[in-house]
């Protein structure tokens, strides 16, 4: 039997990737919201008439599988934990609905802008085979990077074609320690990210979130997940967010 979220999503207007890409966000702002999965049906029911839902290969549910790499002494994670800007992430992402695979390098500069470079790259290929790409775009090499944390989740993408807004809705989040295999199940939470043009004052999604007393709250799936599945790693900066996520288990 379909749950409430599936019923709402299946009733929404489907759009293709080409239609979604027609919404150009030239001067965009991104805001995240982290809340209990139990609140998602109420949020979606209210905004459904104003958004279309992206379908790829006949489904609105896109499964992501992302492996984050780091050095033996966790340089990239520690930079994030310490709040350092001009920091990097190196990851491999597989889009399970299409089979597309990419090696990606993300760089966040001291103006808090994020830039991303990527190449098509099979997951089972040795990282050393992409060494030229890696050394060109970050201060690390393929030889010194190892699989650190596996992040898996399901994503729904909603688009307001009138006001120029995209919303990603992430659920079924699972984190795995790539060294020990230890897992952390975050299936009780939902993460919504709004991507909209600064010039637009209208956001039906933001209004619905506020109506349901859901307020802006950032979360890095990689950083928080790594802090949870690695016991002996520095995590002082993330403890408050980890406690908040733990409390959401008991929210009805």
Domain ranges, ordered by start, for the chain: 4-250
Element of type H or E holding 41: helix 40-47
**Mind listing the pLDDT tens digit for each residue in 94-132?**
999 899 999 999 998 887 778 899 999 999 999 999 999
What pLDDT score does 250 carry? 85
Provide the pLDDT for residue 23.
Answer: 67
**CATH superfamily membership of 4-250:** VTC, catalytic tunnel domain (3.20.100.30)
Residues 169-188 have a mean pLDDT of 97
CA atoms within 13 A on the CB side of 28: 17
Q: What does the mean pLDDT of the chain come to?
A: 92
Q: How confident is the model at residue 161 (pLDDT cuts 50, 70, 90)?
A: confident
Does position 160 have pLDDT exceeding 80, yes or no? yes
Structural contact between residues 44 and 53, judged by C-beta atoms closer than 8 angstroms: no
Percent pLDDT > 70 in the chain is: 94
**pLDDT over 70 (residue 200):** no
Confidence of residue 169 (pLDDT cuts 50, 70, 90): very high
For residue 38, what pLDDT is reported? Answer: 95
Contact 25, 164 (CB under 8 A): yes
Task: Evaluate if pTM is beyond 0.85.
Answer: yes
> For the residues 186-212, what does the mean pLDDT come to?
88
pLDDT at 113: 77
Contacts of 156 (CB under 8 A, 6+ apart): 9, 53, 54, 60, 61, 62, 168, 169, 171
- For the cut 80, the answer to whether the pLDDT of residue 188 exceeds it is yes
Mean pLDDT of 186-214: 89
Instruction: Please tell me whether residue 243 adopts helix, strand or coil conformation.
Output: helix
pLDDT tens profile 16-71: 988 887 766 545 568 999 999 999 999 999 999 999 999 999 999 999 999 999 99
Write down the pLDDT at residue 1: 39
Convert the pLDDT of each residue in 69-92 to its tens digit: 999 999 999 999 998 988 999 999
């Amino acid at each position: 039997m379909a749950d409430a979220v599936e019923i709402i999503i299946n009733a929404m207007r489907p759009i293709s990737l080409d239609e979604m890409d027609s919404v150009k966000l030239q001067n965009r702002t991104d805001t995240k919201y982290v809340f209990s999965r139990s609140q998602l049906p109420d949020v979606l029911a209210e905004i459904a008439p104003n958004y279309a839902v992206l379908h790829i290969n006949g489904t609105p549910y896109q499964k992501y599988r992302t492996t984050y790499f780091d050095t033996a002494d966790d340089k990239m994670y520690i930079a994030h934990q310490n709040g350092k800007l001009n920091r990097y992430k190196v990851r491999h992402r597989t889009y399970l609905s299409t089979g597309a695979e990419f090696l990606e390098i993300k760089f966040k500069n001291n103006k808090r802008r994020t830039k991303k470079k990527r190449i098509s790259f099979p997951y089972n290929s040795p990282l050393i085979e992409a060494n030229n790409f890696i050394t060109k775009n970050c201060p690390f090499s393929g030889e010194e990077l190892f699989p650190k944390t596996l992040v898996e989740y399901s994503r729904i993408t909603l688009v307001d074609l009138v006001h120029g807004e995209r919303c990603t809705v992430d659920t079924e989040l699972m984190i795995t320690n790539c060294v020990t295999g230890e897992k952390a199940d975050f299936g009780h939470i939902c993460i919504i990210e709004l991507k909209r043009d600064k010039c637009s004052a209208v956001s039906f999604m933001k209004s619905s979130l506020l109506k349901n007393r859901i307020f802006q709250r950032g979360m890095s799936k990689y950083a928080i997940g790594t802090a949870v599945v690695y016991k002996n790693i520095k995590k002082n900066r993330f403890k408050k967010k980890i406690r908040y996520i733990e409390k959401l288990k008991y929210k009805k």
